[in-house]
Amino acid sequence: MNFVEYPFKVVVINNDPLNSSREILESAVMSSPVDNLEVIHASTNLGWMAAHNLALKQCDTQYVMLANDDLVFMPYDHGFLRRLMRPFSNENVGAVGPISNFVMGSQNLWNLKLPTQHTTTLLIGFCVVIRSKVLMDIGGLDETLPGGDDFDWSIRIRDAGYDLVVDRTCYVHHIGQQTGRRVRRDWDNFHHQDLTINSLVRKHGVKKWYETFGSRVDEVPLDSKSEHVSNVKSL
């Protein structure tokens, strides 16, 4: 909440059907200083994708942020979200992601030679801002997949004609794999990776999956690029 300078809405999906969790969350809402906070209690554990889709149905904002519960935002960086939103000044941008310590592809902190802002074929779903209409138009998250929802919607957003952008001035610390392992015990082990890759290849084909996995980097498509792009060495 400390990193948002705009009017915002927070929707929490409670995947725990126990009454004790309902009471804890309702109490937290009542004591929270945030007015625009809503909790939706699911009757069962919906899992990652279905819970996000349920929250998306409540979305009436222009943009939606998908965020894992194992993120740590830098306490001094109150302009984080404002910077992360800048690429949306270009109408062709469908989604924007930050960099982190625990993330694959061009969003990894240690890819120091990359441009400060660039397009990519893949944005990881640990923390991403997406145009709400774009995410709704492509059908939300695919609940039939065993994982790899970010690979899937990265492909579908690009197929819809939009760019995916990484802004390397925006950093969030990611503990990593905590959210997924609370959903399923075998999260990201060899068997689960195999199931996920096979599902994505069957849906999109080998070429699209491989191009997405490669996290290709291209020049950022911003009209006012000179105002927003600084040398990466200044980070």
Q: Print the domain residue range for 102.
A: 62-227
Q: What pLDDT tens digit does each residue of the chain (235 aa) get?
A: 555 666 678 888 888 877 788 888 888 888 887 778 888 888 888 888 898 999 888 888 899 999 888 889 888 888 898 999 999 999 999 999 999 998 989 999 998 889 999 999 999 999 999 999 999 999 999 999 988 999 999 999 999 999 999 999 999 998 865 555 555 565 566 777 888 989 999 999 999 999 999 888 887 655 544 333 332 222 2
| 22 in a structural domain | no
Quick check: is 14 in a domain? no
Residue 227's CB: how many other CB atoms inside 10 A? 10
**In angstroms, what CA-CA distances link 201 with 153, 154, 191, 210?**
14, 14, 15, 9
Single pTM value for the model: 0.83
Nearest to 64 by CA among 89, 81, 48: 81
pLDDT recorded at residue 1 = 56
| Distances in whole angstroms, Cα of residue 172 to Cα of each of 23, 88, 100, 145, 188 | 30, 19, 5, 27, 21
Residue 6 lies inside a defined structural domain of this protein: no
Tokens of residue 194, six digits = 């195999």
Q: Find the Cα–Cα–Cα–Cα dihedral 217, 77, 25, 95, rounded to 10°.
A: -20
Residue 42's nearest CA partner among 15, 10, 12 is: 15
- Among the listed residues 96, 81, 99, 83, the one whose alpha carbon sits nearest the alpha carbon of residue 3: 81
pLDDT at 159: 97
Q: How many domains does the chain have?
A: 1
Q: What is the per-residue pLDDT for 181?
A: 52
Question: Is residue 24 assigned to a domain?
Answer: no
Examine residue 26 and state whether it is found in any structural domain, yes or no.
no
The pLDDT score that the predictor gives to residue 232 is 29
- Residue whose structure tokens are 């890819």: 111
Specify the DSSP class assigned to residue 100: B
Q: Is residue 188 part of a domain?
A: yes
If we measure between CA atoms, which residue out of 139, 183, 181, 144 comes closest to residue 160? 139
The reply to whether 234 falls in a domain is no
Sign of CA dihedral 35, 41, 45, 47: negative
Residue 54 lies inside a defined structural domain of this protein: no
The pLDDT value recorded for residue 44 is 84
CATH number of the domain that residue 102 is part of: 3.90.550
